[in-house]
Amino acid sequence: MVTIYGIKNCNTMKKAFDKLDQLGVSYQFHDYKKENISAEKLKQWIDELGIEKVVNKQGMTWRKLDEATQSAAMNPSTAIKVLQEKTSMIKRPILETGKNIILGFDEAQYESLK
């Protein structure tokens, strides 16, 4: 089964849900705003995808952070703690297919799930 991670009221997440529904792909949704996210899962994503891709530097949460917290978020040894406290900084959606991880919403990548 596919697991999609993100925040329910995000526009990009809505596109991802719609596409998965359109493709008939069954999925489990993990809302890390409500359910948090484990340190182990964050470490896995950072190890596989890289900190630069996992941290969302485009969002308002990032822009509101002071420089020290931004630095901590980009440091692999402190990033997990920061991302657990500020889950809006995790890029979304993150889709785990059992075979690979798809970061962000790319319609072509989702099409390959059929």
Mind telling me the catalytic residues?
10
Residue 65 exposed, middle or buried by CB count within 10 Å (0-12, 13-18, 19+):
middle
Q: Own/partner pairs for 105-113, CB < 8 Å, 24+ apart?
A: 105/12, 105/15, 105/16, 105/19, 107/19, 110/16, 110/19, 110/20, 110/23, 110/25, 111/23, 113/2, 113/20, 113/23, 113/25
Q: Are 40 and 65 in contact (CB under 8 A)?
A: no
